[in-house]
A = this chain, B = another copy of it.
Amino acid sequence: MGLIVQKYGGSSVADAECIKRVAKRIMETRRAGHEVCVVVSAMGDTTDELIDLAKQVSPILEGREYDMLLTAGERISMSLVAMAINSMGGDARSFTGSQAGVITDQSFNKARITSVTPGRIRAALDEGAITIVAGFQGVSETTKDITTLGRGGSDTTAVALAAALGADVCEIYTDVDGVFSADPRLVPTARKLHRLQYEEMLELAASGAKILHLRSVEYARRFNVPIHVRSSFSQHEGTWIRAKEDKVEGETVEQAIIAGVAHDTSEAKVTVVGVPDKPGVAAQIFRTVADAELNIDMVVQNISAAATGRTDISFTLPVGDGRKAITALHKVQEAIGFESLLFDDQIAKVSLIGAGMKSHPGVTAVFFEALSQVGVNAEMISTSEIRISVVCRADVVKDAVAALHTAFGLDAESAEAVVYGGTGR
């Protein structure tokens, strides 16, 4: 007996059949004696269809009205889920983000949750009802306008409600069995991870793993909300995401050193060629990019060629922002005095993530040996305490991911500590 928050994504409520299956699952959880608060995304392609409609009437896809438009999708799915439950004899009540007390700042299209006051949810739960909440949306504290949390925001809604309600777990339902050691479409031997630390999931999400929205994991870590990522199409245990120190009952296997391999083909590389190698120039370049509201990811500055006194600076950013970056930089070319700009969208980023690598030397060596054995050249490198990322050509991403997956013993179940055991090679 406890309080469970469940979040069902768009593919889990894609049509009437899916909705009925989800309703049945929610009923089972309620009948097992738990209090249940459900967060739903819009059905399947609804949000994309609304965006298409918006494009037909306006070139400006942002702002107050656009947010209002997009929130219709979750309103539809949440009421259908509630109706399905009620027709099975349950007592379900649906709530918009606003009704559920999801308070945000005023940043339309990418609002941040500032507080959650789930008084109506708590009251409905106290009456024994199942509560269904529209994900992805809230209401701004100051103007009472409807806001959206940005793509994938339903994960954040679920975690934020779980934190505010003091839920025992936030179950994130999706169409796969959990978080995998690599994308199974690229690596058929990828396996489901049983547990991850928040930090690992954060790095995975930031490195291209699509399974959870980055901000939802940040939120879960901050409020220590246990997340259970699992499939709405099976009863299998999925992947638990918790703090490092959390003990899970019956868990005896040592935490793996490496969690998995992530990849991301959604970025492009911009190279500023022939930059005068003197203090302040790099700052000028990144100020220009920041002023254009572009989020850059990796940065590399080549060693200066002594003869010319010039260097090259490369950075990566979402491929969709490439044009904006080039335009902004061209405007300051004369002022900064660089020679030219290169744009390359045929890149991929491959990342190895594992909290265990902090205390195990030699991970970096194995990493680059594995890549070189399949002829993958690392064009850019970036690391954190628990991650190594490289940029390579897009057409070798599969080879790179597979080679790393094998080299770190992720292919075979539970074998990671054997193949790679901190031997320092």
Contacts and interface: CB of A to CB of B under 8 A. Distances in A.
Interface of A: 15-16, 19-20, 23, 50, 53-54, 56-60, 63-66, 68-69, 71-73, 75-76, 78-84, 86-87, 92-94, 99, 120, 144
Which 8 A/B pairs are nearest by Cβ-Cβ distance?
A16-B56, A58-B87, A69-B79, A57-B84, A68-B79, A65-B82, A58-B83, A72-B72
Contact of A16 (B53, B78, B81, B120): B53
Contacts of A86: 58, 60, 63, 65
Contact of A20 (B23, B57, B65): B57
Contact of A80 (B19, B53, B64, B80): B53
Most buried by B among A15, A56, A60: A56
A63 B20 CA distance: 18
Nearest to A18: B57
Most buried by B among A50, A54, A72, A81: A72
Chain A binding surface SS class: helix
A76 B92 CA distance: 25
Contact of A64 (B53, B72, B84, B93): B93
Given A59-B87, A87-B58, A79 B65 contact: yes
Contacts of A60: 83, 86-87
Contact of A57 (B16, B71, B93): B16
Contacts of A57: 16, 19-20, 23, 80-81, 83-84, 87
Contacts of A92: 65
A324 to B, nearest CB: 20
A67 to B, nearest CB: 8
Contact of A50 (B16, B63, B76, B94): B76
Contacts of A79: 65-66, 68-69, 72
B54 A80 contact: yes
A139 to B, nearest CB: 10
Most buried by B among A64, A66, A83: A83
B69 A80 contact: yes
Given A50-B76, A57-B81, A57-B84, 12 more contacts: A19-B57, A23-B57, A53-B80, A57-B80, A59-B87, A63-B83, A64-B94, A65-B83, A68-B79, A69-B76, A69-B83, A72-B75
Contacts of A93: 64-65
Nearest to A98: B98
Nearest to A71: B75
Contacts of A65: 79, 82-83, 86, 92-94
Nearest to A92: B65
Contacts of A58: 83-84, 86-87
A71 B75 CA distance: 8
Contacts of A53: 16, 76, 80
Contacts of A20: 57
Contacts of A94: 64-65, 68
